Amino acid sequence: MKLGVIGCGKMGSALVSGIIRSQLCAPSDVTVYDTFEPAAATMAKELGVTQVTSNAEVVDASEVILLCIKPQGFPEMLTDLGEARDRLLISIAAGVKISTIEKATELRHRVVRVMPNTPAMVGMGASAFALGMDASRDDAELTQSLLDSVGFACRVEEEDLDAVTAVSGSGPAYIFLMIEALIAGGMEQGLDAQTAKSLAVQTVAGAAELVKSTGESPAKLRENVTSPNGTTFAALEFFRENNFEKIVKGAVEAAAKRSRILGRD
């Protein structure tokens, strides 16, 4: 597979690193470009891929192209696709709809739209993807393999990507906020900063792994560690009294609403 990458930021670098690490593609078969030349140079140096000087060169050298650029970079990029045909375009640009890309390229290419998240940078990503009108089963399987190289991936309908954005795309920030609060709470109770951070981070990581590895529901695992009138019970009662669940659901709703607005814009 000849792979092209337009946009060499953190997410683009994470995806390419995972793809190469999983031996889905050799470094010599990867061509990269970024308008910020140092970003492409860094990727080329660290991963052994080929850096070029334009979007058009990436298009000419590739069969599959990862579009890892911000929405405002799309007009120029789409122009640089020129008269090329039959590439698989995998876009991670938030809010840029499949139909927008298909229309701009006059249906000359197959399109897949992806919503990844930042833990892909450490091989623990959660991604979802949707297929364009001409994308094939083979394209879906290839996309699944590429995204699996940096974590978990699933296929959804494009209309569900706003919800995906709200749960997993923006979700890491919610967890970071929770970790911040746990650290601050621990420090207020007398722990030093490093001890509070280490305990909070490991607790969040361990809790997530427990849900993943046991197959038990979060509700069941919560019940297992909640003794009547114990310390956990006291904390959970405080959460309930302050509408913790409502706050989290509201945050997801707000993110999904904003994603829909960005998509319309």
Q: Is the dihedral of CA 37, 40, 45, 48 positive or negative?
A: negative
Q: What is the residue extent of each domain of the chain? A: 3-158, 169-264
CB atoms within 10 A of CB 96: 22
3-158 — its CATH code? 3.40.50.720
CB 61 within 8 A of CB 32: no
Please report which confidence band the pLDDT of residue 45 belongs to, taking 50, 70 and 90 as the band edges: very high
The pLDDT of residue 107 is: 85
For 257, the token pair is 């609403």
For 29, the token pair is 């078969």
Q: Which residues in 77-93 are b (16+ Cβ under 10 Å) and which e? A: bbebbeeeeebbbbbbb
- Above 90 in pLDDT, residue 2? yes
DSSP for 222-254 reads: HHHT--TTSHHHHHHHHHHHTTHHHHHHHHHHH
The CATH number of 169-264 is which of 1.10.3730.10, 1.10.3720.10, 3.40.50.2000, 1.10.150.120? 1.10.3730.10
Query: pLDDT (tens digit, 9 = 90+) per residue, 199-223?
Result: 999 999 999 999 999 999 999 999 9
State the Cα–Cα distance between residues 154 and 76, nearest whole angstrom: 30
Query: pLDDT (tens digit, 9 = 90+) per residue, 73-97?
Result: 777 787 777 677 889 999 998 888 9
What is residue 125's DSSP assignment?
E
CB atoms within 10 A of CB 162: 21
Task: Find the mean pLDDT for residues 34-53.
Answer: 96
Q: What is the pTM (predicted TM-score) of this model?
A: 0.90
